[in-house]
Chain A
Amino acid sequence: MSKPMIKIHDLLTNEIIEREMNDVEFANWETAIAKEKENLAAEEAKAIQKQALFARLGLTAEEAKLLLS
């Protein structure tokens, strides 16, 4: 299976190389993408919980913000 491509622009030589990621770069890419997906999922879950809490309290997000300001 081919790996994703990466472009490297060296500003010192102005050389631009575009190639497949090597094993280390690919592992880093997979880890980074997975970590960010986890972050995103956690934040979305937190936002849903927050909306549910607002609904139970009968407050809008703006009202809650005003209350806590």
Chain B
Amino acid sequence: MTKARNLADNALTTVSPTELGYLDGVTSAVQTQLNARVTSVSGTTGRVTSSGGATPAIDLNTSGVTAGSYGTASAIPAITVDTYGRVTSATTNAFSAGGMTLISSGSIGTGFTVSSIPGTYNELVFIFSNLYRTSTYNSLLLQFNGSTSNDYNWLRADQGTTTINQGTNTGGMCANYGTNPSTGVCRIPGYATSGGGKIWHWNSTNVNNTGASAGLGSGIKYNTTAAITSITILADSSTVGSYQLFGVK
């Protein structure tokens, strides 16, 4: 005891005032405080990661979801959230109502292609909205399966009210309503089947244009027999409008 006291007395004489200041504010035994210090950091596996040492760190684990924005005008987001409030899954589903599924949409621009069309629908329906032309010419050219030879079809975007009388060979058709802007609809039945029975003709005798403009209407012609998996729409640069493509069951 005496030796310990002597040792402490000697130590005090060699400790500087600055070093004594390090103990300023200590109200309990130094050893007790040392025992209470954080020596490691732990976290639940899969939710947080941790590291110990003098400067412990905690990090959130990644949830496996790709960072980004989910959902568009035509895609409904599907989100899964766990009990900790983390998003663990994020995908989108195509908008579907009444047997109609919106499979593609956007502005027409000078052209677009919808490819890899699944053969799971009975028919395809295009709706062209707010069609507007800035010159005397505007038509939407439809091409199937990338064919550039015999498969021209067109929807004239500004012809006044148009009535289409279907002839015996007219299984598919386009119709157009209104003027600047107008709305057009193209129906493409049986697109997924190959072989005969899918021959559509545009024929002026099948089209009765009751509008005042000179155009004779709009139609569709597809003279090949392969199933349609790709549709290209081409437009003059004076055309403004948007499209929606539905698969119909």
Contact = CB atoms under 8 A, between A and B. Distances in A.
Interface of A: 4-13, 16, 21, 25, 28-29, 31-33, 35-37, 39-40, 43-44, 46-48
A9 B139 contact: no
B110 A36 contact: no
- By size class, the interface of chain B is 20 to 34
Nearest to B139: A36
Contacts of B139: 36, 40
B116 A7 contact: no
Sorted nearest first, the 10 A-B pairs with minimum C-beta distance are A12-B116, A4-B110, A7-B112, A44-B214, A6-B111, A32-B141, A47-B214, A11-B116, A8-B113, A28-B148
A13 to B, nearest CB: 7
Given A6-B112, A11-B104, A37-B137, A43 B143 contact: no
The main secondary structure of chain A at its interface with chain B is helix
B40 interface: no
Contacts of B116: 10-13
Nearest to A17: B113
B115 A9 contact: yes
Contacts, number: 80
Nearest to B109: A5
Interface in B65-87: none
A6 to B, nearest CB: 5
A35 B214 contact: no
A4 B237 contact: yes
A31 B234 CA distance: 11
A43 B214 contact: yes
